[in-house]
Amino acid sequence: MAQIIEIKEDNQIVVIGIITFLILSIILYVIYPGLKTATGIYGFLCLISLGIYTNPAFQDYLYGIQKSLKTFLWIGAGIGIGLGYIILTRLVPGMSMGLPLVPQSVDSSLRWVIICVFAPFIEDVLRFSILGLVLYLRRKDGISKGELWLAIILQGLFFVILHATSYAAGWYQAPTWLGAFTIISAVQGSLIAAGIFALISGYFVSRDGVKNITISIVAHFVINSILFAQFAVVGLNIGGL
């Protein structure tokens, strides 16, 4: 596969993962009617990510998953970041974890699959695709620290927008911009938490010597798994980042 479409070695595992999740999305979409909204959205996001990660022009500007023992170190780091972030949201006023509407629309027996498996991988691959595209656009004179931070901030904003459309009930039906803003304001704590997570994970992933999205995917998995367990215990609608 790498020889045919010139995929960088670190990006090959990501491409295999994207294809796997795309196939799973299609299968679940057909088999389980209750999953059509979630799998349809994630299947579409997979197609976008696949187009970016298989484009030869972008290969040097994308972050992948290294085929080395070092990746196990990043798994441990991701677990630490995920646990640390859960603690942070408990200590800082105004920060809270959201309850996305898409997972709530999923059959309860399969919510864990969507929230803790699909969401961490697909959402993180897509936002780091955005980061890579920004770096690609700034490639001519090299990439400065300021330009790297611009890419990190933009992928963070994208992550917030992605969650704004799922956190805010009635956002699409709001009759005016003021009404839409009011709805978004009601979930601002969740959006702040999502944005800060995206910035923190983006910072760690983009460091020299790291450049491995395993950290973010694992941290995202840890956060959503803990939230899933907590909300399941108290019988609330289950959500996550």
Query: For the chain, what are the domain ranges?
Result: 65-234
Q: What percent of the chain has pLDDT over 90?
A: 51
Give which of 43, 36, 55 is closest to 18, Cα–Cα: 43
Tens of pLDDT, residues 102-143: 455 555 667 888 888 999 999 999 999 999 999 998 776 677
pLDDT of res. 95 = 67
Determine phi and psi for 226, rounding to 5 degrees: -65, -45
User: Which distant-in-sequence residues (6+ apart) come within 8 Å of 139 by Cβ?
Assistant: 61
Give which of 125, 110, 114 is closest to 51, Cα–Cα: 125
State the pLDDT confidence band at 97, using cuts at 50, 70 and 90: low
Q: Which helix (H) or strand (E) holds 231?
A: helix 214-234
187 neighbors 95 (Cβ within 8 angstroms):
no
> 19 or 181, which is more confident?
19
Report whether pLDDT(174) > 60.
no
Report whether pLDDT(165) > 80.
no
User: Mean pLDDT across the stretch 58-77?
Assistant: 93
Report whether pLDDT(186) > 50.
no
235 vs 224: CA distance, rounded Å: 16
As given in the structure block, the two tokens for residue 153 are 């901030």
